[in-house]
Structure 1
Amino acid sequence: MKIAVPREKEIGEMRVALVPDIVSRLTKKGFQVLVETGAGEAAHFHDQNYIDAGAEIITDTKQLWQEADILVKVAPPGEFDGEAEINSLRPGSILISFLDPLRNPENILKIAQRQITAFSMELIPRTSRAQSMDALSSQANIAGHKATLLAAAHLPRMFPMMTTAAGTIPPAKVLVLGAGVAGLQAIATARRLGAVVEAFDIRPTVKEEVQSVGAKFIDIPLQEETNAGGGYAKEVSNNTQEVIRQVLTEHIKKADVVITTAQVQGKKAPLLVTEDMIAQMKRGSVIVDLAAEQGGNCAHTEAGKDVQYHGVTIIGPVNLPASLPIDSSQMYSKNLQTLVQYLVKDGEIELNFDDDIIDSACVTHAGEIRNSRIKDLLPSQESSVISY
């Protein structure tokens, strides 16, 4: 069974799908691992590290893709120099990667038409059984940590309280909106840096988790169901969003830093911080919007840019895990190893679609799109006609 690791070509993507340590574990399990030359360089893993781990280095990109039984990636297959990467993958092979399927259903259709079985790492269920495969969570941990460091670097004051001969400096006040994996890690990092932290999430069930990492939870009684299950928040009505904004305005006015993490799978990110709310913040305050790529939780957020509005710095980071490629690659690599070993039994791929992990994550198989949410995003004639 050949596992192929290509070099990521997406701009800004510094991660690699498999690190040498995981390659070594897989080769000891009987897998043959092919690594494209330079695949790990951006993450500080050199070709020789992979050779020492038992991998074969391949210089011809197309050869690597065509020989793969299982190809593992970080970013979804793209188009470079006028050629679509997915066309290099032979029919019948398996692709495992982040695929962003609910925002790019057309790409999923192309993968299905190529007769490729694809697993989307975004759709691994958030269950205890699948925890070691949950790449969204592993990468969100890194994003939450880095978001707090970005805020600290841009804030024109220190996070911790300091008592000096020149007087006492009070701690910075940090507000985290959204208490998923990224939000909880942002809270934990801010607390380690000495800030006073508040947090809000529309799911009241996360209150104890927020308190366990040292933040005060902001209670806002809501009149509708807010939990979508599987560890995700539900999209709420405009009326509920307005109630939330009214309460949060007072907290945002007092904050030195606001970190927003609220996202709903397959939907535009909810607007939590309006233009009027920003205008009431203290000059020099910082907002880090982790939902920038989904449209942003904050007015004036621009993905990949720092924006100044009324003296407030609004940071819209893109792909934060890639900025810490050593740790993010190691964590993602472990997620992939667990999934690959879950799929392969005695050297053969076993696709049991009665299994919730395989059923949830497998988006294409035998020329068909398996996920109904992805099908619904495509024109009916496209989602029902599959090329062979």
Structure 2
Amino acid sequence: MILGLLKEQSNENRVALLPEIVQSLSDLKVEVWVEQDAGANALATDADYENAGAKVVSRKEVFEKSDVLLQIQSPVAEDIKKIAKNQVWISAFNPLWDTELVKTFLEKGITTFSLDSIPRTTRAQAMDILSSMATVAGYKAVLEAAIKLPTFFPMFMTAAGTIRPANVLILGAGVAGLQGIATARKLGAQVQVFDVRSAVKEEVMSLGGKFVEVEGATEDKEAGGYAVEQTEEYKKKQQQAVNDHAAKANVIICTAQIPGKKAPVLISKETVETMKPGSVIIDLAASTGGNCELTENDKTIEHKGVTIVGESNYPSQMPVDASRMFGKNVLNFLKLIIGEEGALNLNFEDDIVKGTCITNKGEIYNERVKSVIENK
């Protein structure tokens, strides 16, 4: 088969496959066609791809000749028109949120796979792009907070007196939150962490964070490790606990999201106004509404002395290693759909292949996406 690697559109600096992964695919007898300058923002030249065995062509040729089309972000409207029924589209297009795009794929009869829907099982860990990219996001979020904060992160004992360490509050102890804890602690900050899932308490404490407990949280083993919608009674307790800790925080890192739903608002406008001047909020949930009521996606604003950064794509700001991690995840997934002699083999008996497939032959294959769309 021919795998077509597309250059990302808009402000995305990553690339789905670096030359080192192209070499691995060539070894599997897959022919890789790469759009010109696809890896330029990730410091991978066309010559690098050619040396790895790829064929560098125009965007038009990639769309016309490829059996499988691959990129990171969702296709733009113009690109959707170019995808043929006999082609397979692979990217991370957030189908639980962007249901209109799913419906468009259905209408066109396109076979699609969304890499952010890979089942969260032990076998699929090597393909989990969400965890890989959340690692980058958690790391970068803390570094940006440290840069924007007008005070030090660590404690300093100096001749001029003692500098107290920064107080960091992290909302959500998923992969991004855990990486945020590790990075903030390495920088010398005191870290407190809130999450509705009691199972993460041990991980938080092992990284040096203090777990903020609020009794009465609803947990669902069927949610695959994600947070779930909470009762109104719990939300009131949660809001009070967050308010109390936010007022003492120098930095808040927001990571809490619920797949397919608007991000829960955990930091109200009133809470922001109780924070110290110079404090920083980094909201990684900005693209789905944000955990802070005042967050604006892709913008940095200031409200009464508090800086609020709405940023959902920190991996694009670290394109080399983020692309490397993403590409390794993609390679491990592609191996499931590459048959003998490099032929395309869509084995829907494989739970990972079926779970990652969103649309095929006019049907929705992913059960969670199907449920979301049916209930809308």
Instruction: Tell me the TM-score normalized by structure 2.
Output: 0.95
| 1:272-287 superposed matches below 5 A | 272-287=266-281
Query: Deviation of residue 287 (structure 1)?
Result: 0.7
- Output the CA distance in 2 between the equivalents of 1:229 and 1:168: 46
Indicate yes or no: 2:224 matched with 1:230. Answer: yes
**For residue 350 of structure 2, what is the amino acid of its counterpart?**
D
- Output the CA distance in 1 between the equivalents of 2:123 and 2:373: 31
Identify the residue that residue 339 of structure 2 maps to in structure 1. Answer: 345
Identify the residue that residue 77 of structure 1 maps to in structure 2. Answer: 75
- Output the CA distance in 2 between the equivalents of 1:157 and 1:55: 49
Query: Deviation of residue 228 (structure 1)?
Result: 5.0
Check conservation: 1:124, 1:130, Cα contact below 8 A: yes
Query: Deviation of residue 192 (structure 1)?
Result: 1.1
Identify the residue that residue 357 of structure 2 maps to in structure 1. Answer: 362
Identify the residue that residue 53 of structure 2 maps to in structure 1. Answer: 54
Identify the residue that residue 328 of structure 2 maps to in structure 1. Answer: 334
Of 149, 166, 170, 1:172 maps to 166
Query: Deviation of residue 354 (structure 1)?
Result: 3.3
Check conservation: 1:203, 1:227, Cα contact below 8 A: no
Indicate yes or no: 2:185 matched with 1:191. Answer: yes
Query: Deviation of residue 196 (structure 1)?
Result: 0.9
3-state SS of paired residue (2:89): strand
**For residue 351 of structure 2, what is the amino acid of its counterpart?**
D
Identify the residue that residue 3 of structure 2 maps to in structure 1. Answer: 3
3-state SS of paired residue (2:282): strand
Identify the residue that residue 386 of structure 1 maps to in structure 2. Answer: none
3-state SS of paired residue (1:233): coil
Indicate yes or no: 2:296 matched with 1:271. Answer: no
Of 360, 366, 372, 1:371 maps to 366
- Output the CA distance in 1 between the equivalents of 2:348 and 2:17: 26
Identify the residue that residue 61 of structure 2 maps to in structure 1. Answer: 63
Check conservation: 1:202, 1:226, Cα contact below 8 A: no
Identify the residue that residue 149 of structure 2 maps to in structure 1. Answer: 155
**Deviation by residue 1:257-306 (Cα, 9 ceiling, x = unmatched):** 01110000010100111122111111111111111111111121111111
Structure 1 stretch displaced more, 25-34 or 225-234: 225-234
Query: Deviation of residue 132 (structure 1)?
Result: 0.7
Query: Deviation of residue 360 (structure 1)?
Result: 1.1
- Output the CA distance in 2 between the equivalents of 1:56 and 1:41: 15
Check conservation: 1:283, 1:311, Cα contact below 8 A: yes
Of 219, 234, 237, 1:240 maps to 234
Query: Deviation of residue 227 (structure 1)?
Result: 5.4
- Structure 2's unaligned 5+ residue stretches are none
**Deviation by residue 1:193-230 (Cα, 9 ceiling, x = unmatched):** 11111111000000011112111111111153365531
Check conservation: 1:106, 1:378, Cα contact below 8 A: no
- Output the CA distance in 1 between the equivalents of 2:197 and 2:361: 39
3-state SS of paired residue (2:61): helix
**For residue 357 of structure 1, what is the amino acid of its counterpart?**
I
Of 88, 112, 116, 1:118 maps to 112
Identify the residue that residue 22 of structure 1 maps to in structure 2. Answer: 21
Query: Deviation of residue 310 (structure 1)?
Result: 2.2
Query: Deviation of residue 102 (structure 1)?
Result: 1.8
Indicate yes or no: 2:30 matched with 1:31. Answer: yes
**For residue 242 of structure 1, what is the amino acid of its counterpart?**
K
- Output the CA distance in 2 between the equivalents of 1:131 and 1:224: 25
- Output the CA distance in 2 between the equivalents of 1:373 and 1:341: 24
**For residue 30 of structure 1, what is the amino acid of its counterpart?**
K
Change over 3 Å in CA distance of 1:214–1:130 after alignment to 2: same
Indicate yes or no: 2:211 matched with 1:217. Answer: yes
Percent identity (aligned): 45
- Output the CA distance in 2 between the equivalents of 1:152 and 1:327: 21
Check conservation: 1:179, 1:210, Cα contact below 8 A: yes
| 1:123-138 superposed matches below 5 A | 123-138=117-132
Structure 1 stretch displaced more, 100-109 or 366-375: 366-375
**Deviation by residue 1:306-327 (Cα, 9 ceiling, x = unmatched):** 1212211111113111111111
- Structure 1's unaligned 5+ residue stretches are 384-388
- Output the CA distance in 2 between the equivalents of 1:35 and 1:236: 45
Query: Deviation of residue 52 (structure 1)?
Result: 0.9
Query: Deviation of residue 375 (structure 1)?
Result: 4.1
Of 86, 90, 96, 2:84 maps to 90
**Deviation by residue 1:328-387 (Cα, 9 ceiling, x = unmatched):** 11111111111111111213333333322112110111222223443455589xx9xxxx
Check conservation: 1:105, 1:375, Cα contact below 8 A: no
**For residue 366 of structure 1, what is the amino acid of its counterpart?**
K
Indicate yes or no: 2:42 matched with 1:43. Answer: yes
**For residue 233 of structure 1, what is the amino acid of its counterpart?**
A
**Deviation by residue 1:46-101 (Cα, 9 ceiling, x = unmatched):** 11111111110002x1221121111111001112xxxx202222222211110121
3-state SS of paired residue (1:349): coil
**For residue 94 of structure 2, what is the amino acid of its counterpart?**
D
Query: Deviation of residue 162 (structure 1)?
Result: 1.3
Check conservation: 2:97, 2:259, Cα contact below 8 A: no
Change over 3 Å in CA distance of 1:371–1:342 after alignment to 2: closer
Count how many residue pairs are aligned between Structure 1 and Structure 2.
Answer: 375
Query: Deviation of residue 127 (structure 1)?
Result: 1.1
Check conservation: 1:287, 1:314, Cα contact below 8 A: yes
